[in-house]
Amino acid sequence: RKAITAPSLLAMRTAGDKIAMLTAYDASFASLMDRCSVDVLLIGDSLGMVCAGYDSTLPVTVLDVAYHTASVARGNKLALVLADMPFGSYTTPVEAYNNAVTLMRAGAQMVKIEGGAWLAETVRFLVERGIPVCAHIGLTPQFVHTFGGFKVQGKTDAAAEQLKADGLALQAAGASMVVLEAIPAALGKDVTELLAIPTIGIGAGPDCSGQVLVMHDLLGVFPGHKARFVKNFMEGQASIDAAVTSYVTAVKDGSFPGPEHCF
């Protein structure tokens, strides 16, 4: 296969080819996932929870993400390397740019930021300067204290309309992709149909342009509570390679997520 790029992800969305994304935090797993044809390796700020043992993503720093991004980039060959901008690292467009540069120098090819239309100016500022951006809306874990927990978003008509407006504003600002987390499956479908850029769902239903899971969840390693959208792909598999391959296959053929994983 060829190297995955921001334009090739858009081409996949246009062609209706599903995008398989997984989180990765080190070179060994990055190499394995790349060999199993995972399209995008996300160095999620979830590393604060699954690697460092914090109870939220808030303590994670830019240097933490940069360290793991460099590790993943060394193990990877063809997948696209996407790095999370952690809490407090994109307050202004200039601050976002300077921190994104640190992550791009570490090996990221795109950065992800959490929030809606209010981030449009920041997205445009980064994109104009050569930094592709993935937006993240719905259950944005950096807002855990605002939401009062890790709770499903977009349940009221007003919240659903706001989410659609956010998606459109972020796309207009130049975002390459948007992660939709923990929203009703019907809303995931609506946002995906509304946008031309790919949507990547995690608890957002089967109609998104692609799916993402935290690798520990896919492997059945649950330090905390198991969310509804999680599937343990180790079940019935004899190796981690086989589990990752079965995840990629299930995303590509649309069999994951099933109704039992949706809101």
Looking at 64, 84, 190, 217, which residue binds Na ion (CB under 5 A)?
84
When the beta carbons of 42 and 183 are compared against ligand KIV, the nearer one is 42
CA 263 to CA 261: how far, in whole Å?
7
Q: Does 44 bind ligand KIV (CB under 6 A)?
A: yes
When the beta carbons of 111 and 158 are compared against ligand KIV, the nearer one is 111
Residue recorded with tokens 């499903």: 152
CA 113 to CA 122: how far, in whole Å?
9
CA 120 to CA 175: how far, in whole Å?
9
When the beta carbons of 190 and 217 are compared against Na ion, the nearer one is 217
Residue 211 has phi, psi (to 5 degrees) of -135, 155
Binding part of the chain for ligand KIV, among 5-13, 43-51, 95-103, 219-227 by CB under 6 A, reads 43-51
Instruction: State the number of binding residues for Na ion (CB under 5 A).
Output: 3
Q: Please give the residues from 212 up to 251 whose contact with ligand KIV meets the rule CB under 6 A.
A: 212, 214
202 binds, among Na ion, ligand KIV, none (CB under 5 to 8 A by kind): ligand KIV
Residue recorded with tokens 């994670």: 60
Q: Residues of 73-85 as b/e, b for ≥16 C-beta within 10 angstroms?
A: bebbeebbbbbbb
Q: Does 84 bind ligand KIV (CB under 6 A)?
A: yes
Structure tokens of 235? Answer: 């079940």
**Residue 54 near residue 86 (C-beta atoms within 8 A):** no
When the beta carbons of 190 and 229 are compared against Na ion, the nearer one is 229
Pairing relationship of beta strands 133-138 and 210-213 according to DSSP bridges: unpaired
Q: Does 64 bind Na ion (CB under 5 A)?
A: no
Which of the following is catalytic: 121, 128, 161, 181?
A: 181
Residue with CB nearest Na ion? 44
Annotation says 181 is catalytic: yes
Q: Does 23 bind ligand KIV (CB under 6 A)?
A: yes
Residue recorded with tokens 């299930």: 250
> What residues are designated binding site for Mg(2+)?
45, 84, 114
Question: Computed over its alpha carbons, how large is the radius of gyration of the chain?
Answer: 17
When the beta carbons of 128 and 250 are compared against ligand KIV, the nearer one is 250
> What residues are designated binding site for 3-methyl-2-oxobutanoate?
45-46, 84, 112
Alpha helices in 79-204 (DSSP H): 93-106, 120-128, 144-147, 157-172, 185-194
Q: Residue 164 burial (CB < 10 Å; 0-12/13-18/19+)? A: middle
Q: Which residues bind Na ion (CB under 5 A)?
A: 44-45, 84
Q: Which residues bind ligand KIV (CB under 6 A)?
A: 23, 42, 44-46, 84, 179, 181, 202, 212, 214
Catalytic residue IDs: 181
